[in-house]
Structure 1
Amino acid sequence: MDEKLYYQDQYLANFSTEVIEQGKDEAGKWYAILKETAFYPTGGGQPCDTGYIDGVKVYDVEERDGEIFHYLETPLPTELTMVDCQLDWDRRYDHMQQHSGQHILSAAFEDLLGYRTVSFHLGKETLTIDLDIAELSEKEAKVAEEKANQIVAEGRKIETIWVNPDELKKYRLRKQVSVTQNIRLVVIPEFDYNGCGGTHPRTTAETGPIKILGWEKQRKKIRVEFICGGRVLAHLHEKHIILQQLSGLLNAPQGELVHVAERLLAGNKNLEKAIEEANDRLLYYEGKELIEVHPEQMVTVVFQNRSVQELQKLARSVVAIAEEKVVVLLAENGERLQVVCARGEKVETNMKQLIGDILSHIHGKGGGSESFAQGGGAAVLSGENLITTLKEKKVLQS
């Protein structure tokens, strides 16, 4: 049986075959080539199968130059000629459900709305199709989803047929095939005819429910994210558990969770605003205290672990109360020194120039205006040592 066709018997989870070749590729990865294989290689938007060959883990499968490489965690015993192979069936069946769901949903979009699918990707948790349109409405997505699930519920056969190029004319294909021989069509009679080498279940019923999760614009296309089959149930179960937990935490039935959350968020915003106003008042009184403790014109203070935002507010409080003051506030924050400089209305000292002189001693960067500036640098000196150095160099005046 042709190696490249054998994997398309999608229900063959266990099989035996011959080892044709094994070794290491150019990247040093162990591989085996089999006479026949049921392992699907990565391609056509569908990830590869994984599983075991004689108990050795197959973690990747690729088609290269017409051969299918099965990448192994360890080499097979060299004396082996016949091997027993086992697919990870849960993974295979999941991929079958998702891939057939993609066929069905793409066909629904095209038949009902004329929206053509131009690409497809099957991920670990969700899958996507890119539609050749610029906008998609909620109503359009709902119509396509309902049609897709109707086809699922009808349990239509999913057939595979092999045709030559001349026979293609008999079928209304959704897109042109990319091969000229061994052309494989996956067909849902009277609904979808599609050239595809991927794996699919026997009927649309085995696809399970199809659920669109959302969509977004991607390079002038619309990317639709959705899930099918077992993934829908897993998604529903996860959301159900979360909703139960939220319902208990908020002491509200599920139908009222949104309203309760909105009230909590509104209350939280009011609380944050009140806390911010209280902090501003505290900083105002802290500023008054600094003025009393530092009667000199230039106020220099070193703090531990205070944010730049707090330093800014505190500096502004000081110069608003005492317009004849210049204030230089430093904060030692781990390996960084943060600096804020401000002047009152009755002072002409240039704060932008001052911050530049200060930051040059700590390899820092910053900026600002003539009345207010800020910056930061490496804590190559302690805050007190930096102030002492700056006073010795007449950068800061007592």
Structure 2
Amino acid sequence: MHTERLYYQDPYIDTFSAKILHKGQDQKGRLYVVLDKTAFYPTGGGQPHDIGTLNHVQVYDVEDVEGEIRHFIDVPLQEDSCYGKVNWIRRLDHMQQHAGQHILSASFEELFGYKTVSFHLSTETCTVDLDITTLTEEEANKAEERVNQIILENRPIETKWVTEDEIHQYPLRKALSVTDNIRLVIIPEFDYNGCGGTHPNSTGQVNQLKILQWEKQKKKIRIHFVCGTRVLKQLHEKHRIIQRLTPLLNAPQEDLESAAKRLIEQQKIFEATISELKMEILKQEGSKLIEESIDTDHFHLVKNISIDRSITELQQLAKHITQNEDSILVLFVNKKEEKLQVICARSEDLDQNMNQLLKDVLPAINGKGGGSDSFAQGGGEPKVSPEDLIDKMLNVISTDF
């Protein structure tokens, strides 16, 4: 049951009457109908499907399944015939984007010999992947300028059905993926390309094209661009953002970049200052903990219990104490939410193994962790109190002497 595709005859057909050939349900449980003819474009060739209505029932997806075009609907159609209406705003947008892609790809190939290997049309932007690894701003600007020149010239966009034997008559931009039912989309003396998508009748109806950005994607360059009314939408969004940034940065539009750079530099200075102040506070805290340390026969013991403290701060604190004091051992336990965090550290002149100490007590909290002979950390469940956990570590240490 092959469906006659009305958009092949004229992409501007957006209403039609048709007979329902088949009503079905796919493997996902989605309802669909197959018509004897349709103006709805199914997903394919990088172009999304049309949406619209059949007898006022919403068509939310359209797929080509072996030549059978399925119109997916939310509620069943009771009739044997229907009146279809394509969402024209979406169709025209897709026509502009797809034709713009043809012109952009042809421009890159004409100017630099860069071939397009893929195209994707999304709801906000479009992308083409070029078979190159680098792209300069000058090249992108020249290609964009060439595209908009072709658009401004309002050249015709023609479609033609040809046989495999006739292909040699046309300088195709890329190899065909089919050998029968070959449909060419042609911009005379500029671009010849096999394509089944929808396009306007002239380049002028693309309106305009703007390259937004490009990036390296695997071993290709991916270009993001928009055409037609999407260009105005992008302009509106960017203008709105600029209008909001102007008072925030206290600078006119032309000075926003330098104002933002100054703000970033100031932020870096503030962050560095804050980091230095935090380190000074940690040093002061470390000195206080050393003064309060407990003298044993073999070392000075620093133990501390905290709640919801940054583990990074505790690491820095433990290292500062052990690196600036001899014969000192540090045991920290931090309770954070429903977890106990443990840090064990010692000065270099002691020989207790902190990694082994940690592993000896972790089973008590069903924990995990590890480290070196002089510094180890871990965490687990609060199955015992922080005080009891420190006592367990001290008991392990006492057996070493």
Instruction: Give the paired residue count.
Output: 395
What letter is aligned with 1:178?
S
Contact kept in structure 2, 1:288 and 1:321, CA below 8 Å: no
Matching residue of 1:23? 24
Matching residue of 1:35? 36
For normalisation by structure 2, the TM-score amounts to: 0.93
Q: 1:63 to 1:392 in 2, by over 3 A?
A: same
SS at match of 1:59: strand
Q: 1:287 to 1:396 in 2, by over 3 A?
A: farther
2 CA distance for matches of 1:255 and 1:376? 52
Q: Does 1:147 align with 2:143?
A: no
Q: Does 1:161 align with 2:160?
A: yes
2 CA distance for matches of 1:224 and 1:300? 58
What letter is aligned with 2:55?
D
Matching residue of 1:336? 339
Contact kept in structure 2, 1:358 and 1:395, CA below 8 Å: no
Contact kept in structure 1, 2:34 and 2:71, CA below 8 Å: yes
Contact kept in structure 1, 2:43 and 2:62, CA below 8 Å: yes
SS at match of 2:199: coil
SS at match of 2:223: strand
2 CA distance for matches of 1:152 and 1:266? 43
Matching residue of 1:361? 364
Matching residue of 2:6? 6
SS at match of 1:7: helix
**TM-superposed deviation, 1:357:** 1.9
Decide which moves more: 4-13 or 15-24. Answer: 4-13
Decide which moves more: 217-226 or 8-17. Answer: 217-226
Matching residue of 2:254? 255
Matching residue of 1:58? 59
Contact kept in structure 1, 2:341 and 2:380, CA below 8 Å: yes
Identity fraction in percent:
51
- Could you tell me which of 306, 309, 317 is aligned with 1:306? 309
Contact kept in structure 2, 1:390 and 1:396, CA below 8 Å: no
Give the alignment of 1:75-94 within 5 angstroms: 75-77=76-78, 80-94=79-93
2 CA distance for matches of 1:361 and 1:225? 55
1 CA distance for matches of 2:180 and 2:278? 75
**TM-superposed deviation, 1:251:** 0.8
Matching residue of 2:210? 211
**TM-superposed deviation, 1:395:** 6.6
**TM-superposed deviation, 1:4:** 4.0
- Could you tell me which of 316, 319, 338 is aligned with 2:319? 316
2 CA distance for matches of 1:336 and 1:397? 28
1 CA distance for matches of 2:41 and 2:76? 20
SS at match of 2:365: coil
What letter is aligned with 2:306?
F
Q: 1:395 to 1:151 in 2, by over 3 A?
A: farther
Matching residue of 1:288? 287
**TM-superposed deviation, 1:176:** 2.5
1 CA distance for matches of 2:116 and 2:393? 67
For normalisation by structure 1, the TM-score amounts to: 0.93
Contact kept in structure 2, 1:31 and 1:70, CA below 8 Å: yes
2 CA distance for matches of 1:215 and 1:387? 56
Deviations 1:138-178 (A, max 9, x none): 22121111101100111111111222223322221112223
- Structure 1: which 5+ runs fail to align? none
Matching residue of 1:352? 355
Deviations 1:301-341 (A, max 9, x none): 11111111110122123334542221111111112222111
**TM-superposed deviation, 1:394:** 5.6
1 CA distance for matches of 2:221 and 2:201? 30
What letter is aligned with 2:277?
A
2 CA distance for matches of 1:374 and 1:396? 21
Decide which moves more: 218-227 or 101-110. Answer: 218-227
Contact kept in structure 2, 1:4 and 1:68, CA below 8 Å: no
What letter is aligned with 2:247?
G
Matching residue of 2:137? 138
SS at match of 1:11: coil
Contact kept in structure 2, 1:216 and 1:223, CA below 8 Å: yes
Deviations 1:244-268 (A, max 9, x none): 1111101101111111111111111
Deviations 1:5-52 (A, max 9, x none): 313321122222111111212221100111111110011111111111
Give the alignment of 1:155-234 within 5 angstroms: 155-234=154-233
Contact kept in structure 2, 1:56 and 1:73, CA below 8 Å: yes
**TM-superposed deviation, 1:132:** 2.1
Contact kept in structure 1, 2:124 and 2:230, CA below 8 Å: yes
Decide which moves more: 267-276 or 7-16. Answer: 7-16
Contact kept in structure 1, 2:6 and 2:13, CA below 8 Å: no
What letter is aligned with 2:101?
Q
Q: Does 1:374 align with 2:373?
A: no
Q: 1:54 to 1:397 in 2, by over 3 A?
A: farther
What letter is aligned with 2:6?
Y
What letter is aligned with 1:6?
L
SS at match of 2:254: helix
Matching residue of 2:269? 270
Matching residue of 2:105? 106
RMSD after superposition: 2.0
2 CA distance for matches of 1:385 and 1:53? 72
What letter is aligned with 1:373?
A
**TM-superposed deviation, 1:393:** 5.7
What letter is aligned with 1:377?
G
Decide which moves more: 49-58 or 95-104. Answer: 49-58
**TM-superposed deviation, 1:129:** 1.5
Contact kept in structure 1, 2:22 and 2:33, CA below 8 Å: yes
1 CA distance for matches of 2:398 and 2:38? 79
Deviations 1:76-110 (A, max 9, x none): 12xx1221212122211111111000000011111
